[in-house]
Structure 1
Amino acid sequence: MLEIPIAGKTGGSDESLEDVAYRVIADRVIMLGIRPNASINETQLSKEMQMGRTPIRAALKRLENDHLVVSHARKGTFAAPVDLADLEEIAEVRRALEPVAAGMAAGKARADARQTFGKYSEVIRALEAATVDQSDLMRLDLAVHQLIYRAAGNGHMEEILIRYANLWTRIQGVMLERRPLILEHILELDDVIQAILAKDEAKASKLMADHVSGFSTYISST
């Protein structure tokens, strides 16, 4: 099991109970620990996370805004359905913005982000196809992308890209149950990381464009 942050956006040391609930539930929904259309039990979550239902309800409202859960009057809250028809529209957004974010990250990444990029590079280079778990690959993929968004230094773009990357990862998880995530796709991210560490904005942007387009084609063919 790789030591990769949970899929929900990582908070700081001062994060609230609502923030913790949001991250934990988001991770379960994104990584299909809570399956599409499955009922979400607030009481059970409250017991598991050892917190009251108020922060959990607030977190679920945020997740509804992120299109990760849906709420129905008198029925409760459910993990949002996965609509494969959304795949191309989400891919269009990612193809347009991901290369921009990678280029900006190469130009703006701060020391702490650069250090984390280096750690992710070490993890990627140590991967072995025979031993790595598919869920770990998905989580690592999302973590690297989220770091790129944050390193780009544009909060508005980061928010948009996190939302679409989360939705993409859910669809990817469903589709890859029929066809595995290939290790080569993750290895490509190390090339992007190296370009960012080298502060080569044009190369980082180009490599990310190729990475996103190539995987969009792969996943669409499943």
Structure 2
Amino acid sequence: MLEIPLAGRPAPAEESLGDVAYRVIADRLITLEIRPNQSINETQLSAEMQMGRTPIREALRHLEGDGLVVSYPRKGTYAAAVDYADLDEIGLIRQALEPMAAGLAARTVRGEAAQTFHKYLGIIGSLDPGAVDQSDLMRLDLAIHQLIYRTAGNRRLEETLVRHANLWTRILGLSLERHPLILEQLNDLGMVVSAILDKDEERASDAMAGHLARLSRFIRSM
């Protein structure tokens, strides 16, 4: 496994058991280890994560709010379905907001964020197409996007984009099962990161807009 965070959302400075459960379950949902429409067994998750059912239930409530699971009275909790019809609505939000986030990140990047961007560029450059796991590549893609959102320095913008990027990635994951493109996607995203590190706001914004437009065309072609 690559040295990258779980998919979902960044870990808070002080994690509760509910936070840990959220991140583990979200990662499985986003990378499709838990398939769309699959039943989610609280008892099984509790045993696997060696924690009580209360933090599992807390995590599932948050995941339902994020659109990743659905609960039905007397039936239980299930991974949310993936609807390709959502692609256009999610894409409009990302295409409107992410170029702005990339530009803001280029304006403010420094310190630990810059170091992490350099680290991710190094990982992209060293990837072995024949050896890397696709789930890890999806996690890397999300980690880079999340770092861009966080570096932009607008909490509400970050929350909105994290949620929609997670939903988008589930759709992307199903597309990649039929026609892998993830390495090309990451190299494309690397151009955004390079512009951010160069503190070139306009180039970072334009590179992100182009990256999302090409990715949207790829998913629609499936």
- Using the size of structure 1 for normalisation, the TM-score is 0.97
1:14-52: CA deviation from partner (whole Å, max 9, x where unpaired): 111111011011001111111000011111111111111
Letter in 2 for 1:170: R
Runs of 4+ residues over 3 Å off in structure 1: none
- Using the size of structure 2 for normalisation, the TM-score is 0.97
- Report how many residues are paired: 222
What is aligned with 1:137? 137
Matched, 1:172 2:172: yes
Structure 1 residues without counterparts, runs of 5 or longer:
none
What is aligned with 2:106? 106
What is aligned with 2:87? 87
Q: Distance in 2 between matches of 1:27 and 1:51?
A: 17
Report the CA distance between 1:188 and its aligned residue: 1.4
Farther-moved stretch of structure 1 (51-60 vs 180-189): 180-189
Question: CA 1:153–1:13 in structure 2 vs 1: closer, same or farther (change >3 Å)?
Answer: closer
Matched, 1:52 2:52: yes
1:98-125: CA deviation from partner (whole Å, max 9, x where unpaired): 1011001011123111110010010011
What is aligned with 1:62? 62
Matched, 1:218 2:222: no
The percentage of counterpart residues that share the same residue type is 64
Letter in 1 for 2:57: R
What is aligned with 2:5? 5
What is aligned with 2:127? 127
**Maintained 8 Å contact 2:94/2:161:** yes
What is aligned with 1:156? 156
Q: Distance in 2 between matches of 1:41 and 1:73?
A: 15
Q: Distance in 1 between matches of 2:11 and 2:135?
A: 22
Report the CA distance between 1:10 and its aligned residue: 2.2
Letter in 2 for 1:108: T
User: Over the residues paired in the alignment, what is the CA RMSD in angstroms?
Assistant: 1.1
What is aligned with 2:38? 38
1:133-165: CA deviation from partner (whole Å, max 9, x where unpaired): 222221111111011011111010100000100
**Maintained 8 Å contact 1:137/1:181:** no
**Maintained 8 Å contact 2:10/2:146:** no
Q: Distance in 2 between matches of 1:115 and 1:77?
A: 40
Q: Distance in 1 between matches of 2:87 and 2:8?
A: 21
Q: Distance in 2 between matches of 1:126 and 1:83?
A: 34
